[in-house]
Amino acid sequence: MAFSYTNKRGNTYFLHSKTSTSKTGKRTTLFFFAKEKKDGVLDAVPTGYMVAETANGLPVLKKKA
């Protein structure tokens, strides 16, 4: 089951991740929300992160303090 978040305007977004490798070999993971389920959809919020909402209603992941 994909993790979904409904913002204050009633729009539903699904959490995704994408891993890329730089030229030096360093692996970086990018987390993002999309309105449709695509490749890389996640089942839960990663450990150490929480979902927050920007002023215009877009969901973002933030690291817990």
Tell me the whole-structure pTM to 2 decimals: 0.88
pLDDT in tens, 13-25: 999 999 999 999 9
11: closest CA among 60, 62, 59? 59
pLDDT in tens, 26-54: 999 999 999 999 999 999 999 999 999 99
pLDDT at position 1 is: 87
H/E element, 60? strand 59-63
Domain borders along the chain are: 4-63
Confidence check: pLDDT of 12 > 90: yes
pLDDT at position 65 is: 83
